[in-house]
Amino acid sequence: MRDPRIASPSSARQMPLIQDVQTDEFWTDVTLPQLKTVRKKLRDLVKFIEKSKRKVVYTDFRRRDRGRHGGRAHGTRVQH
Cα–Cα dist 47/63, whole Å = 28
Q: Which of 35, 39, 20, 15 is nearest to 76 (CA)?
A: 35
Regions of the chain short of the pLDDT cut 50: 1, 77-80
**pLDDT value at residue 49:** 75
Instruction: Output the pLDDT for position 79.
Output: 45
pLDDT of residue 9: 79
Q: Which pLDDT score is estimated for 33?
A: 93
Residue 50: half-sphere exposure toward Cβ, Cα within 13 Å: 5
Q: How many C-beta atoms surround the C-beta of residue 14 within 10 A?
A: 19
